[in-house]
Amino acid sequence: MNVIETLGLTKTYGGGPFGSRVDALRGVSIDVDAGEAFGLLGPNGAGKTTLVKLLLGLAHPSGGSAMLLGEPAGSPAPRLHVGYMPERREYPDFLTAVQVLELFGRLLGMDQRARSQRINIVLEEVEMSNWRDHPVGGFSKGMQQRLALAQALLPDPQVLFLDEPTEGIDPLGRVSIRGILRRNLEKGKTLFINSHMLGEVELLCDRVAILVKGQVRREGPLSSLQASNPEYRLVLAASDDAARAALAVAGDELEALAAPLGRSAWRLSVSDRSELNAALDRVRQSGIEIEEVQRVRASLEDVFVQTISDALSEDSRAGLPGGGRLDREGIAEAPALGSEPVPAAVKSEMEP
């Protein structure tokens, strides 16, 4: 069953007589199943937060439709069963952790007993029980992040929207938050993670969509996206020149890697296994020994960079502003995407 469903969702900001028009979303159609961990990826300005805001009724769509838990996304009713952890939040600094949760519990319509029970449970879950009566103003960023997670978990939600859930958190904190999210997944909750922390998404999500300039450019199970362009690492007992001649593969499908003296190592990109076998046959026919063949699974970062590069190339061919080329290392080659400072920022924002 789909808990989130959008069809041709569009959102345009501005466009009046005095403002410039920004198409934040351009026909986004996605479905998220119950119990799934879905990752929404994209560079800054891609429209990720706008999509979440439309689903939660924080912004109004310009076109298309969005359903949340089977009801129109803008209506308050489905939000009774949704937890939201925004990237930017500002709790009143004079409230204690318990008072913050009390306020949100009452807004959710929980009675006193249920509130009290849930507050204890979620504070325990995010390991903040010892800080329950401390004012939020004195909390570190990590503690505020945990409180936000506790607040999102308060309604015992069916769907959790998490906007950059581990941003600014130290590695131990990330592991802990990831553990909390995994436990909620095991309980059957649906996670909708909006992030550019690719490593985190890779570790948590079953399925991802990559949003570029308001459009979904790629979507699917993580495993299939990563397997879409198989790559292999070859180590051959030959010099670079001899090995390159034997492989006889086009330059952009072959990349030389560092190798010990007398050996040569390569990263070979092929469309399928028969192409790999053909290349290996040519190596054998040349009398070169094959020392190692290893399948290299593309990282999510590779998929992400490739997707944005493809999107920029398409735009470039179509003569759209912001078109350009993005390669694995030379991200800065891409020109700016109109008003959205996307490509130059992409690399720096990706998790190392």
Site membership for another protein, residue 174 (CB under 8 A): no
For 20, the 3-state DSSP assignment is coil
Of 90-98, 223-231, 238-246, 317-325, which segment contacts another protein by CB under 8 A? 90-98
Find the binding residues for another protein in span 153-172 (CB under 8 A): 154-156, 158
| Torsion over CA: 314, 316, 317, 320 (sign) | positive
Of 150-158, 223-231, 251-259, 331-339, which segment contacts another protein by CB under 8 A? 150-158
Contact 145, 165 (CB under 8 A): yes
With left for phi above 0 and alpha for psi between -120 and 50, is residue 213 left, alpha or beta? left
Which of 17, 90, 186, 318 contacts another protein by CB under 8 A?
90
Find the binding residues for another protein in span 309-328 (CB under 8 A): none
Which of 17, 19, 94, 319 contacts another protein by CB under 8 A?
94
- Residue 98's φ and ψ, nearest 5 degrees, are -65, -40
- Sketch the per residue contact string, 44 through 83, with another protein: x for CB under 8 A, - otherwise: ---------x--xxxxx--------xx-----xxxxxxx-
Site membership for another protein, residue 189 (CB under 8 A): no
Q: Which residues lie closer than 8 Å to 43 by C-beta, 6 or more apart?
A: 196, 212, 308, 340, 342, 343, 345, 346, 349
With left for phi above 0 and alpha for psi between -120 and 50, is residue 64 left, alpha or beta? left
Of 92-100, 218-226, 237-245, 301-309, which segment contacts another protein by CB under 8 A? 92-100
Distance in Å, CB of 225 to another protein, minimum: 29
Of 151-159, 248-256, 323-331, 338-346, which segment contacts another protein by CB under 8 A? 151-159
Count of residues of this chain found to bind another protein when the rule CB under 8 A is applied: 45
Distance in Å, CB of 157 to another protein, minimum: 9
Find the binding residues for another protein in span 11-30 (CB under 8 A): 13
- Sketch the per residue contact string, 289 through 308, with another protein: x for CB under 8 A, - otherwise: --------------------
Which of 115, 196, 213, 217 contacts another protein by CB under 8 A?
115
Cα–Cα–Cα angle for 227, 229, 231, rounded to 5 degrees: 90
Site membership for another protein, residue 111 (CB under 8 A): yes
Cα–Cα distance measured from residue 287 to residue 245, given in angstroms and rounded to the nearest whole number: 12
Q: Which residues lie closer than 8 Å to 221 by C-beta, 6 or more apart?
A: 206, 207
| Torsion over CA: 272, 273, 279, 282 (sign) | negative
- Residue 90's φ and ψ, nearest 5 degrees, are -140, 90
CA dist 328 to 124, 191, 301, 304, 322, Å?
43, 30, 10, 10, 18
Distance in Å, CB of 113 to another protein, minimum: 9
Contact 268, 254 (CB under 8 A): yes
Site membership for another protein, residue 107 (CB under 8 A): yes
Which of 6, 145, 151, 195 contacts another protein by CB under 8 A?
151
* Strand pairing class (37-41; 190-194): parallel
Residues that bind another protein (CB under 8 A): 1, 13, 53, 56-60, 69-70, 76-82, 84, 86, 88-92, 94-95, 99, 103-104, 106-111, 114-115, 117-118, 121, 151, 154-156, 158
